[in-house]
Structure 1
Amino acid sequence: MKIEFKRLDHIMLCIPIGKEQEAREFYGNILGLKEITDTGYALPNGAIWFQMGDIQLHIRAEDAHETSQRHPAFEVHDLEAARKLLQSHGIELKNESKIPDRNRFSFRDPFGNRIEFIELI
């Protein structure tokens, strides 16, 4: 069984706590990205989302002493099959906070990088 990747859904970058307005200024006004404000639901963990071509850029504040939550998120076909494959290799999965239009989980690669898999519903 192989994981069938559909596309890159989003990239999440992190900023220092309290710098949200500066992030909006940089990504929205300087880079010219359109902020996504009408999702129909509250964004998780105070995130700020921008449209960036056919993918999204997610920004979230984090404490510099935490293990970074920066990550790419890949849309996959058959999220449950991907879950089972990773678990069969002893990879620890983390169920992420609920977002109404997607199922998702994350994991760390052998080098500590966070990777998220999602399936749109």
Structure 2
Amino acid sequence: MLVSVDHVQLAAPPGSEDALRAYYVGVLGMTEIPKPPVLAARGGCWFQSGAVQLHLGVESDFRPAKKAHPGLRVTGIEAYAARLESLGATVTWDDNIPGRLRFYSEDPVGNRLEFVGAPGL
């Protein structure tokens, strides 16, 4: 029986780890977590914030995910969007789901990310 999502894996091109770290740590406010040594040898990096883990794995024929995306729930969504914009990230608000505050952004390699306001927070 499924009980939760353990992590989401996104792809990235070879050599993009420094840009990914700058974005996921410096812009999104996540913490980099160590990969097991056997996996670290493949490149890429892993990030965590609370129970949320995003794994970025290197793919030699990388193409960014433009439609597929993780949906990340955030508190204080307006302030979080302002933080991202102040740090150079694009923020595109979407009001297609009534009663739900949400926006899209892209990581530095072009992967789509959705940010959804946590109800009541």
Shorter-chain TM-score category?
0.3 to 0.5
Give the TM-score of the pair, scaled to structure 1. 0.45
> Greater RCO between the two (CA within 8 Å, min separation 6)?
1
Instruction: Give the strand-richer structure, 1 or 2.
Output: 1
Give the TM-score of the pair, scaled to structure 2. 0.45
